[in-house]
Amino acid sequence: MAYTVNKGIIKIPTAGDFFTMVVKKCEVVDSKFQNDDGSFKEEVKFTDPSGDALFIPRKTADFQLGNWCGFGEKNPDGSWNIGYGDVDGHALTFRRDPNPKMPTKPYYGIRRADESGDVNSRPSLAAAGRAAAEAVRKAQNLPRDPEDAPSGPAKGSPRPEPSPDGAKAVDALDRAYRHAYEVAKAVQGKGATADSLQAGAATLVIQYDRHNLTALFAAPAKPEPAADDGDPGPEEPGDDDGSLPF
């Protein structure tokens, strides 16, 4: 889930990276790049509640918003009429997908994080938190069914003894709270108070726990070092998994 923010500009640089935002404002702006005729190219600017913004080329953004997110209608020539104002207030996940021909320039993809399908709906704080956690689940290809996730002890059963996994669980909870706090800041904006942010973050952590998603925030396990038996073993497979971009 890597992204950077420099001087208010959000960057998602690498294939596989993604960022979930509750969009405060979506608009078309001129970029700093020019067409062959000297006119400026257009970009779509997505601004989050903190004022940071992500810029995506208009043709790409229009296709993603119209074809995948339901915010527009397709014209006979293949272009899209997008209701940019309809995007405001929605939770969207922006990601970069592999570009086999130009690996250093991955494709952009945009999906609705709230998955409601209703252009007029706006996510609540809890819904935004669930959407962000669901984006993590999907990115890591983890099961949705709660039965596939570890469950706690039955009510009335003895408290289990501490295990080596206890530290991992505490770390996952800490990471989940930090993520929830950032989501609360994005949703509540500049008028947020310390109390409202703590309450919002706590609400999201409860939602994560109810959906068995807290463990998704655990740090990835370090691979066990291979035994040195003098056999170099098979070569590692390539990075290209053959997946297609959005």
User: pLDDT tens digits for 233-246?
Assistant: 444 444 444 444 44
Sequence-separated contacts (24+) of 62-66 with Cβ below 8 Å: 64/108, 64/109, 64/110, 64/246, 65/110
Confidence of residue 136 (pLDDT cuts 50, 70, 90): low
Distances (CA, A) of 223 to 59, 138, 142, 220, 226: 41, 22, 19, 9, 9
Burial of 220 (0-12, 13-18, 19+ CB in 10 A): exposed
Per the domain annotation, does 84 fall within a domain? yes
What is the pLDDT, as a whole number, of residue 77?
94
Q: Residue 88: what are its φ and ψ, rounded to 5°? A: -55, 130
The torsion angle over the Cα atoms of residues 120, 81, 25 and 186, rounded to 10 degrees, is 60
Same structural domain for residues 63 and 134?
no
- Per-residue model confidence as pLDDT tens digits over 30-66: 999 999 999 999 999 999 988 999 999 999 999 999 9
| For residues 62-77, average pLDDT | 94
Is 142 inside any structural domain? yes
Average pLDDT, the chain: 76
In the chain, beta strands by DSSP E: 4-6, 9-11, 18-22, 25-34, 40-47, 53-57, 72-74, 80-82, 91-97, 107-112
In a domain, 162, yes or no: no
The answer as to whether 241 is a domain residue is no
Domain hosting 57: range is: 1-119
Token pair, residue 125, equals 């704080």
In a domain, 4, yes or no: yes
Q: Are residues 92 and 115 in the same domain?
A: yes
Asked if residue 226 belongs to a domain, the reply is no
Model confidence at 173, in pLDDT bands (50, 70, 90)? confident
Distance CA 123, CA 128 (A): 6
More confident call, 217 vs 37? 37
Half-sphere exposure for 218 (CA within 13 Å, toward CB): 15
Residues 180 and 114 in one domain: no
In a domain, 237, yes or no: no
Does 5 share its domain with 84?
yes
62 lies in the same domain as 78 = yes
Using alpha carbons, list the distances in angstroms from residue 29 to 23, 84, 156, 172, 234: 16, 12, 60, 39, 51
> Token digits for 131?
């959407």
The strand ranges marked E within 84-205 are 91-97, 107-112
> Of the candidates 119, 138, 157, which is a domain's last residue?
119
Quick one: average pLDDT of 113-126?
A: 59
Total number of domains in the chain: 2
- Matching residue, tokens 């056999």: 231
3-state secondary structure of 45: strand
**Would you say residue 201 lies in a domain?**
yes
User: Looking at the structure, do residues 136 and 73 belong to the same domain, yes or no?
Assistant: no
Please tell me the distance from the alpha carbon of residue 101 to that of residue 62, in angstroms, as a whole number: 22
Decide if pLDDT at 147 tops 70. no
Encode pLDDT of 50-60 as tens digits.
899 999 999 99
Q: What pLDDT was estimated at residue 183?
A: 82
